[in-house]
C-alpha cells in the first residue's frame, strides 16, 4: 500500500476507468475536472499496484451554496467535493475521512459537508458512523454535515463567568478566585457547595450540560475528551508502529514499510500487548503512542518518539474469549497480524492484553525521548507510563497540533 498523495488534477489520468461511475452520475464531470486542472487544483489520491483506488477532493468554502435546502449555517466549511473509493474498501474510506478531518482542522475549520445520492449506501453509512448527519438536499442528492466538537464551541463561557462573578449565592472564597474555563469546570466537579450554588444558576447549568459529549467515540471522532479519563504513554516497536499508524510514519522511513493490508487504513486499531498494568485501561482513556528506537540507532534519546494520540475503546483479556475463533474474529479487522500469527498468540497467550482504540491525531511534530524525559522525569521503563494532566498537555503542546479538538 502506497502512501496517500496530494496530486494536481492535471497529473492524474482523467481517462482512468476509476472515474467512469462519476461520469455516469455527473454528465458534466469531465468539464468540471478540466476546469480544476486548469486552475492547478489538487486532490488526495491513493494507488495500489499502480491502480487508482481512492480520490478525494476537498475545498474550503467561505460563501454558502445557495442550492442547498435548507441553507447551511454561516461559517467556513470544508466541502468534500468528490469522494470515491473502490468497492469493498470501507477501511480505506475511514482513512480518507480521517484525512478530510485533518485537512479541516489544519485550516481551523470545524464544519464539513458532502453530497451523495441515495444509492451510495456504503459511503453514506461510513460517513454517518463518524458523525455526519443528514442535513438537507441539493437537487436529488442528500447533504450530510459533520461538526467537529472543539473548545471553540464554548462561546458562551465569558457570559457564564460574568454571571457567576455577580452571583450572590456564591461564597466569597469562590468569588475571590479568578474564573477561567478550567477552574470553573474543576470546581464544579469537586466541590459540593459550588455545585449547589451553580445548580441555582440556570445559565451555568445549561452551559455545563452543553459540555457533555456523546459516548459514541466513533461519532465524535476525531474529538478527544480529557474529562474523567486517565492518560498514558504506550510504547510500540517500530516494525509494528508504522504498519498500524500509517499517517504517523517518520520522514526517514520509506513508503515500502506500509504493507498492502486494509487494517492499516482503519480508524480503529487493536493492539496486542504483554505490558503489565495495561489491563487497567478503561474506555475513554487517552494513549500517547510512543515509537521505540530503531535497532541500529545509537541512542534512544532522538530516535524514540511520541507520534500520535489514541482513545481507548475497550480493553479485553485474551482469557475473556470463549475460543480461538472468537478471538480471531475480534482482532482480525483492526490489527496487522495474519490469521496464522493470531492463532499462535492465542495458543501461547504471549500477548494477553487486547486494547482496541481509535487513531485520532497524528502529531505534527514528533516528541523525542530527550524532551519526554524533561517533561516526565525519573522514568525507568517507557513501555507504559501514567501521565498527569500537566504532563499530558505539555506533550500535546510539543506535538504542535491544533489542540482545539482536545476538549477538557
Lowest mean pLDDT among 182-186, 259-263, 291-295: 259-263
Tens of pLDDT, residue by residue over 206-229, are 555 555 677 899 999 999 998 889
CATH 2.40.30.10 for domain 4-147, yes or no, is no
Task: Look at residue 255 in the predicted model and tell me its pLDDT.
Answer: 39
Residues of the chain within CATH 3.40.630.30 domain(s) are 4-147
Task: Look at residue 286 in the predicted model and tell me its pLDDT.
Answer: 98
Distance from C-alpha of 290 to C-alpha of 379, rounded to nearest angstrom: 14
**Res. 54: pLDDT tops 50:** yes
Task: Look at residue 250 in the predicted model and tell me its pLDDT.
Answer: 54
**Res. 247: pLDDT tops 80:** no
Taking a C-beta distance cutoff of 8 angstroms, is the pair 367, 305 a contact? Answer: yes
Tens of pLDDT, residue by residue over 363-399, are 999 999 999 999 999 999 999 999 999 999 999 999 9
Task: Look at residue 401 in the predicted model and tell me its pLDDT.
Answer: 93
User: How would you classify the pairing of strands 111-116 and 77-85?
Assistant: parallel
Task: Look at residue 35 in the predicted model and tell me its pLDDT.
Answer: 96
User: For 144-163, what is the mean pLDDT?
Assistant: 71
Taking a C-beta distance cutoff of 8 angstroms, is the pair 177, 218 a contact? Answer: no
Residues of the chain within CATH 3.10.590.10 domain(s) are 217-405
Task: Look at residue 37 in the predicted model and tell me its pLDDT.
Answer: 96
C-alpha to C-alpha distances, 73 to 62, 132, 256, nearest whole angstrom: 11, 15, 44
Distance from C-alpha of 39 to C-alpha of 34, rounded to nearest angstrom: 9
Tens of pLDDT, residue by residue over 228-237, are 899 999 999 9
Q: Which of 40-54, 64-78, 299-313, 346-360 has the highest mean pLDDT?
A: 346-360
**Res. 403: pLDDT tops 80:** yes
Task: Look at residue 260 in the predicted model and tell me its pLDDT.
Answer: 38
Task: Look at residue 201 in the predicted model and tell me its pLDDT.
Answer: 58
User: For 330-335, what is the mean pLDDT?
Assistant: 90
User: For 317-342, what is the mean pLDDT?
Assistant: 94
Q: Where are the alpha helices (DSSP H) in 142-201?
A: 157-165, 172-175, 181-190, 192-199
Task: Look at residue 197 in the predicted model and tell me its pLDDT.
Answer: 61
**Res. 173: pLDDT tops 60:** no
Task: Look at residue 93 in the predicted model and tell me its pLDDT.
Answer: 86
Residue 261, CB-side half-sphere exposure with 13 Å CA sphere? 20
Task: Look at residue 155 in the predicted model and tell me its pLDDT.
Answer: 41
- What 3-state DSSP class applies to 156? coil
User: For 160-171, what is the mean pLDDT?
Assistant: 58
**Res. 56: pLDDT tops 50:** yes
The grid coordinates of residue 105 equal 482542522
User: How would you classify the pairing of strands 231-236 and 384-387?
Assistant: antiparallel
Tens of pLDDT, residue by residue over 11-32, are 999 999 999 999 999 999 999 9
SS3 labels along 59-109: EEECCCCCCCECCCCCCCEEEEEEEEECCCCHHHHHHHHHHHHHHHHHCCC
User: For 323-350, what is the mean pLDDT?
Assistant: 94
Q: Which of 137, 139, 135, 4 is nearest to 73 (CA)?
A: 135
Q: Which of 196-205, 245-254, 338-347 has the highest mean pLDDT?
A: 338-347
The grid coordinates of residue 230 equal 486517565
Task: Look at residue 257 in the predicted model and tell me its pLDDT.
Answer: 31
Task: Look at residue 322 in the predicted model and tell me its pLDDT.
Answer: 96
**Res. 36: pLDDT tops 90:** yes
Task: Look at residue 244 in the predicted model and tell me its pLDDT.
Answer: 86
Task: Look at residue 329 in the predicted model and tell me its pLDDT.
Answer: 96
Distance from C-alpha of 80 to C-alpha of 69, rounded to nearest angstrom: 17
CATH number for the domain whose boundaries are 217-405: 3.10.590.10
As a whole-number percent, the residues of the chain with pLDDT over 70 amount to: 79
**Res. 86: pLDDT tops 70:** yes
Taking a C-beta distance cutoff of 8 angstroms, is the pair 306, 363 a contact? Answer: yes
Lowest mean pLDDT among 74-88, 308-322, 350-364: 74-88
**Res. 305: pLDDT tops 50:** yes
Lowest mean pLDDT among 22-26, 63-67, 69-73, 261-265: 261-265
Amino acid at each position: 500500500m502506497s502512501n496517500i498523495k496530494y496530486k494536481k488534477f492535471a497529473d492524474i489520468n482523467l481517462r482512468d476507468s476509476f472515474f467512469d461511475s462519476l461520469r455516469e452520475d455527473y454528465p458534466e464531470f469531465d468539464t468540471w475536472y478540466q476546469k480544476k486542472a486548469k486552475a492547478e487544483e489538487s486532490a488526495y489520491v491513493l494507488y495500489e499496484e499502480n491502480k487508482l483506488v481512492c480520490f478525494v477532493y476537498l475545498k474550503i468554502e467561505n460563501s454558502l451554496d445557495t442550492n442547498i435546502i435548507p441553507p447551511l449555517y454561516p461559517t467556513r466549511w470544508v466541502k468534500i467535493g468528490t469522494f470515491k473509493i473502490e468497492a469493498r474498501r470501507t477501511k480505506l474510506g475511514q482513512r480518507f475521512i480521517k484525512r478530510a478531518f485533518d485537512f479541516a482542522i489544519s485550516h481551523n475549520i470545524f464544519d464539513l459537508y458532502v453530497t451523495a445520492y441515495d444509492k451510495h449506501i456504503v459511503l453514506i453509512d461510513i460517513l454517518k458512523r463518524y458523525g455526519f448527519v443528514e442535513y438537507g438536499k441539493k437537487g436529488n442528492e442528500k447533504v450530510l454535515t459533520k461538526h467537529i466538537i472543539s473548545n471553540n464551541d464554548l462561546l458562551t463561557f465569558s457570559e457564564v463567568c460574568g454571571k457567576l462573578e455577580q452571583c450572590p449565592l456564591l461564597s466569597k472564597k469562590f468569588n475571590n478566585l479568578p474564573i477561567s474555563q478550567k477552574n470553573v469546570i474543576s470546581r464544579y466537579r469537586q466541590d459540593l457547595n459550588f455545585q449547589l450554588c451553580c445548580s441555582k444558576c440556570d445559565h451555568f447549568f445549561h452551559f455545563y450540560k452543553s459540555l457533555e459529549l456523546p459516548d459514541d467515540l466513533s461519532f465524535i471522532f476525531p474529538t478527544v475528551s480529557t474529562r474523567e479519563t486517565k492518560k498514558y504513554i504506550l510504547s510500540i516497536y517500530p516494525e509494528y508502529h508504522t504498519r498500524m499508524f500509517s499517517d504517523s510514519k517518520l520522514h526517514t522511513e520509506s513508503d515500502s514499510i506500509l504493507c498492502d493490508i486494509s487494517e492499516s487504513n482503519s480508524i480503529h486499531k487493536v493492539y496486542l500487548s504483554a505490558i503489565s498494568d495495561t489491563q487497567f485501561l478503561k474506555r475513554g482513556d487517552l494513549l500517547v503512542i510512543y515509537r521505540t528506537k530503531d535497532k541500529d540507532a545509537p541512542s534512544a534519546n532522538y530516535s524514540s518518539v511520541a507520534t500520535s494520540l489514541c482513545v481507548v475503546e475497550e480493553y479485553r483479556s485474551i482469557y475473556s474469549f470463549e475460543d480461538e475463533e472468537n478471538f480471531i474474529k475480534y482482532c482480525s479487522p483492526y490489527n496487522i497480524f495474519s490469521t496464522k500469527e493470531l492463532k499462535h498468540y492465542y495458543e501461547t497467550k504471549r500477548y494477553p492484553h487486547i486494547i482496541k482504540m481509535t487513531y485520532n491525531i497524528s502529531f505534527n511534530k514528533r516528541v523525542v525521548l530527550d524532551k519526554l524525559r524533561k517533561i516526565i522525569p525519573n522514568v525507568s521503563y517507557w513501555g507504559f507510563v501514567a501521565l498527569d494532566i500537566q504532563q499530558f498537555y505539555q506533550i500535546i503542546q510539543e506535538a504542535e497540533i491544533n489542540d482545539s479538538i482536545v476538549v477538557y
